[in-house]
Amino acid sequence: MQAALVGVTGYAGMILYQLLKGHPNVKKIHLYDHKLTESAPLSTVAPVFKSESKPVFPYDPQQIMTDNDVVFFATSAGVTSKLSQPYLANGFPVIDLSGDMRLNDAGDYQKWYHKPAAPENLMRQAQYGLAEFESARGQTYVANPGCYATATLLGLAPLVQQHLIAVDSIVVDAKSGTSGAGKKLSTTTHFTEANDNLQIYKPNQHQHIPEIVQELKNWDPTISTIQFMTTLLPITRGIMSTIYARLNHGVDQATILKAYHDTYDDQPFVHVTDTDLPTIKQVIGTNNCDIGLAVNSQTGFVMVASVIDNMLKGAAGQAVQNLNQLFNYEPTAGLDLQPTLI
């Protein structure tokens, strides 16, 4: 197959390009940039690829649909909301790593992203692509989930789907490395501010909250909101989503462990570590999500720790998972990755 990638200059786009180059079913990659007016070598557009003279073409939807079998968008929020229409109109496969098409409600998008939304009828045609639960097979436009959303939803799914917790008690304390903020410079991610520091940011305002709640509602319509807080870690990559919830009457640790194993034992990228709580480092460089838990029998609460590499399982890796589902490739194709241990 031939794949188009729009947006190779950001962190997720760079990593996605590397994954696609190693994918056994992707024979050719065409690169495009919506900011270019004429072609330029990749080494100029993204100097990290300084040895590559591969051309990056100006964005042209007709050329993309003519020359490729699928297009990936690794663009900032606010871009694909303006560009999605021709692909949906032609039934052309899209995997969108931005947040523009994840929500079903245009008002919610404008509230949380502070940008104009795509037409709501187009937003509702996109399939939310949480790969373990929402198969991309047979879909046209796949909205790749956010990194915080991926770690949190995978951590919560067995508890919510099997009605093991009081859903009004869910509290999520999620922490991310600085790469989650992208390449754009800011005071918060400046080395002097981030190093040897912890910073809570976007309290009750993070843009991944509505997609988390939207998906949770699909599993349990009684859920209306969750308590969700984000903290910046002084590391480059990784997310730990620490989830707390009150257990329903009669639910014990054995019940919970069975629920997690029943849900994930057949999933190649989700590993249940039982009461051996995972660390971020053990998943960096992989498309894995490792999940462990601890039950407090005195308070009746469960704590779930869900860890991912935000650049892979939280972005580019899950996009390749969705590609594999979309085209019926092996689930692990292009994703045989080993953790970066040091």
Q: What is the pLDDT of residues 63-105, one digit of tens each?
A: 999 999 999 999 999 999 999 999 999 999 999 999 999 999 9
Determine the Cα–Cα distance for residues 23 and 327; give it in Å rounded to an integer: 13
pTM score of the predicted model:
0.96
Determine the Cα–Cα distance for residues 179 and 13; give it in Å rounded to an integer: 12
Q: How much of the chain, in percent, has pLDDT values that exceed 90? A: 91
CA-wise closest residue to 146 among 84, 213, 85, 82: 213
Is the pLDDT score of 184 beyond 80?
no
Average pLDDT of the chain to the nearest whole number: 96
Q: What is the pLDDT of residues 29-52, one digit of tens each?
A: 999 998 899 999 999 999 999 988
What is the predicted pLDDT for the residue at 342? 76
Average pLDDT over residues 296-312: 97
What is the predicted pLDDT for the residue at 186? 80
Tokens standing for residue 305: 């720790």
Is the pLDDT score of 143 beyond 90?
yes
**Superfamily name and number for 2-145+313-326:** NAD(P)-binding Rossmann-like Domain (3.40.50.720)
What is the predicted pLDDT for the residue at 263? 98
Residue 96: which H helix or E strand, with range? strand 94-96
147 is known as an active-site residue:
yes
Cβ distance 247 to 290 under 8 Å?
no
Domains of the chain: which residue ranges?
A: 2-145+313-326, 148-310
DSSP strand pairing (141-143 vs 94-96): parallel
Is the pLDDT score of 116 beyond 80?
yes
Residue-wise DSSP of 130-149: -TTTS--TT-SEEEPPPHHH
Measured CA to CA in angstroms, residue 199 lies from 43, 86, 152, 202, 224 at distances of 35, 41, 19, 10, 27
Of 170-174, 189-193, 275-279, which range is least confident?
Answer: 189-193
What is the predicted pLDDT for the residue at 192? 86
> Greatest CA separation found in the chain?
65
SS3 of residue 227 by DSSP: strand
Is the pLDDT score of 227 beyond 90?
yes
Average pLDDT over residues 246-250: 97
Enumerate helices (H) and strands (E) in the chain, giving the number of each.
12, 15
What is the predicted pLDDT for the residue at 190? 83
What is the predicted pLDDT for the residue at 255? 97
Measured CA to CA in angstroms, residue 165 lies from 151, 155, 168, 302 at distances of 18, 13, 9, 9
Candidates 3.40.50.150, 3.30.360.10, 3.40.50.12280, 3.90.1150.10; CATH matching 148-310: 3.30.360.10
Q: Who has greater pLDDT, 50 or 153?
A: 153
Q: Which of 83, 130, 147, 239 is catalytic?
A: 147
Exposed (0-12), middle (13-18) or buried (19+): which is 58, by Cβ within 10 Å?
middle
DSSP code of residue 117: P
What is the predicted pLDDT for the residue at 303? 98
Q: Who has greater pLDDT, 180 or 281?
A: 281
